[in-house]
Amino acid sequence: MTYGLVLVSYYLRSVAAVRELLDAFDADVERHHGQVLVIDNAGVLPVGAVVDDRRKIFVVRGSNQWWEFSGWLEGLGLVKDWPSSMVLTLLNDSYARNWTITSASRPIIFSMYDAAEKGRIACWLDNFSLFRRPVFSRRLNSRLLLVPAQWRDIVAQSLTDAIHHCSSRHGEPTVLFTAAELSRLRAWMSSQANRWDPKTLPSRLQRIFLEHHMLDSVPQELVAAEPATYVGTLVYAIGRRLLSERR
């Protein structure tokens, strides 16, 4: 099995920082991503191939029109010549900036890679409304998405559909979410007031909408969502608190 990675970058300011992130991520997930496409949404990295003795890295400018979602969409369109047998990791540079991988999340991520290696699109499920109605309501998180290369066009179309859906509703929170959803989301956001860069605050709800709906157009039999059970979600929630895992 070979692994490729599409990395959307906002805060990385040098090729050395890209390499450092890639080395740390490979070590955490115990996979080697031999081909890497960096979508530079900040416009600060040198464009082109990067000399690296461990992997092939290529940097392109991203439009940043729809944050990491447009970055991933642009990236999926540029890796069509990568092997169809490859697993594609879609990542953004929030890894090691505001979330970390510990023994609480590592088994979940290993399960995601196992599912992707068997041909399913693997995503992470978050629980933003613990013990509220709907009970244990779980939603997709965009921290990590694993795509067997054979399904990249399906995922790209689903991202396109989600972006169109958000755009057609003009990103208005009261149109994107129900009143109950908005109440839960705002309570969750207020509990994590320091999580976001101030300049990203106006777009938070649009980005949350996109991550919750980014796989809506994918046939559900192709999707493996982790943690797979509510019990798994609770076990992870306890473990991450005990281990002070950032997320």
- Reported as type and span, the H/E element at residue 146 is strand 137-148
Give yes or no for residue 244 having a pLDDT over 80: yes
> Tens of pLDDT along 147-175?
999 999 999 999 999 999 999 887 787 88
Exposure string (b/e) for 44-63, b if CB count within 10 Å is 16 or more? ebeeeebeeeebebebeebe
Specify which of 9-23, 160-174, 228-242 reaches the highest per-range mean pLDDT.
9-23
Q: Please report, for the chain, the start and end positions of each structural domain, with discontinuous segments joined by +.
A: 3-242
CATH number of 3-242: 3.90.550
CB-facing half-sphere around the CA of 39: CA atoms within 13 A: 26
The tokens describing 60, both together, are: 């392109």
Q: Cβ atoms within 10 A of the Cβ of 12, count?
A: 21
For 111-138, the pLDDT digits (tens) are 999 999 999 999 999 876 555 555 456 8
Residue 236 CA to residue 67 CA, distance in Å, equals 28
Q: Which of residues 91 and 177 earns the better pLDDT score? A: 91
- Count of H helices and E strands in the chain? 8, 8
